[in-house]
Amino acid sequence: MLLIRCPYCEADRAEVEFTYAGEAHIDRPEDPSALSDAEWEAFLFLRSNPRGTHFERWYHIHGCARYFNAVRDTVSDKFLMTYKAREPRPTELEIADAKK
């Protein structure tokens, strides 16, 4: 069971309170009808799937019911940090700090 810190509730909670919601920082196309097939493929289906640092969305469904973002290591499953939905993607420096 993972312990996840909800940045809205400001509390560490058990994984069963949350639902995973896929990779973070994938923007919806502003003009969908202008997209080529390759761009649609990238938006819908291609994900980074890294062995290492992953940016992802979680939904605190049994808590505040809000979406937030997280940085997690996909090998150790350790959460490096969580942050609110509209905050910018953490820099490599910030992630390196969180790993310490």
Angle at the Cα of 40 from the Cα atoms of 37 and 46, rounded to 5 degrees: 115
Residue 38's region, left for phi above 0, alpha for psi from -120 to 50, else beta, is alpha
Whether 67 and 4 have beta carbons less than 8 Å apart is answered as no
Instruction: Name the residue nearer to other proteins (CB basis): 48 or 84.
Output: 48
User: Pattern of binders to other proteins over 7-46, x per CB under 8 A?
Assistant: --------xx--xx--x-------------xx-xxx-xxx
Q: Where do contacts with other proteins occur on this chain (CB under 8 A)?
A: 1-2, 15-16, 19-20, 23, 37-38, 40-42, 44-47, 49-51, 54, 56, 72, 74-77
